[in-house]
Amino acid sequence: MARGRPGRAPGFKMPDEHRTKIKITQILKYLGEHMEGLREMGPTQIQAAQILLRKVMPDLAAIEHTGEVKQTFAVSPELPTMEEWEAEFGAPKQLDS
């Protein structure tokens, strides 16, 4: 019977992107456990986790939209009558049954 790591071909190397995702998941797991009182973490460990997360996750509070709005929409609480609708958009098409 062969021994070793099942499921891995010799020379397999996990992609760096996947390694990063695993590390992020672990950091978030540890912080979550700390918040729930399941894991004790010191202030330095918490600060280190925050620094690492800032490097890999966007800070949504810092995102600012600077583009130009090309189309605006207005919502009217008043619905048009059927006659007003047909005058503006035409009569509805009849579906064949």
Rounded Cα distance, 14 and 18, in Å: 7
How do the pLDDT tens digits run along the chain, 97 residues long?
455 556 777 777 777 777 777 788 899 999 999 999 999 999 999 999 888 888 877 777 767 778 887 777 777 778 888 888 889 888 877 777 5
C-beta of residue 70 within 8 angstroms of C-beta of residue 64: no
Q: What angle do CA 47, 48, 54 make, to 5 degrees?
A: 90
61-84 burial, b if ≥16 CB within 10 A, otherwise e? Answer: eeeeeeeeeeeeeeeeeeeeeeee
Residue 36 phi, psi dihedral angles, 5° rounding: -85, 0
**pTM, rounded to two decimals:** 0.46
